[in-house]
Structure 1
Amino acid sequence: MEAVISLVVLLGTSVIIQLVVQTSQRLRPMELSSCANWYLFVTELESSKHQFSLQKMEGSHLVLKSGHNDKTYWLCENQTIYLRGPKGGYLPVLTDYQPHTLQMKQLDQRRVEVSAQTKDGQKQYANICFSQKTRQRHVDSHYVDEHHDGHHRH
């Protein structure tokens, strides 16, 4: 009787191990859709954690200034769309796209129309709205930040 119970336990353990191995072989890392990747790209550029303001367009690059750390960054394209830092480092912000399909058009002081074709063939569009530029002005022996968007009202 003990031999039968041992055999059943051994068989049950063997089946469980086999199921675990088969399941682990089928699992792949989660892949986001191209639409979700595009949304994350736009969200990163408009993020309040960076507070990017648009300084200018330089050919096919955007020159951005972070309101968070006051550093200048360049949005560039090669095989990926990436942010290049002031000391040469870079951060990929969109990798799931067809290289050399990035198009940018400055709409005003804060907005840029961006489009690119993703690897699944879909054309994605966004109007990215950056933070307002800030400038400092001297008031009674200290500096005060003021928003500057290029529009003056009198």
Structure 2
Amino acid sequence: MKYFGSILEFTRARNADLMRAYREKLAEASIIIMPVIFELVAESPASRFWVSEERAAIVISTMAAGKPMPRMRRNKREMFEEIYRRFIIMKQEFPDKSVYELVTNIVNQPAPKFYLTPRTVGEFIYRIKNGWYDNQYDRYRDCRIADGE
């Protein structure tokens, strides 16, 4: 199980990746129409698959066993299908490695897109720019200090 700080690091890294793509799309645009920018960001390549290794290993194990996939939105399903496609290739190359080892390698590879809706991208960027995440980090830090850590 991940500890709370690791989730914060994951979120910070994802937010930095989103802002990188956002700034790139703004710089490339001749006319700035935010819904279009958010759609372009959503479809931009990401530095990795933004899912935890643990969650990805669970879903890929389920898929490899031939069981029905858990209910999920289209973007998440598409992401797991891409991870599974890569998993099948890697499993043939490295048959002795565990599902977790292979999936860990795969989710840390560059992803073809963010697998988020334009609306979600917009919400994340709005929160990032308005300091919402910074407030969450500060709240977490204050709780740890109060607990004597």
The structure with higher relative contact order (CA 8 Å, sep 6+) is 2
Answer whether TM exceeds 0.5 for this pair: no
TM tier relative to shorter chain:
under 0.3
Q: Which protein has the bigger strand share?
A: 1
Q: Which protein has the bigger helix share?
A: 2
Larger Rg belongs to = 1
Give TM-score, length-normalised by structure 1: 0.25
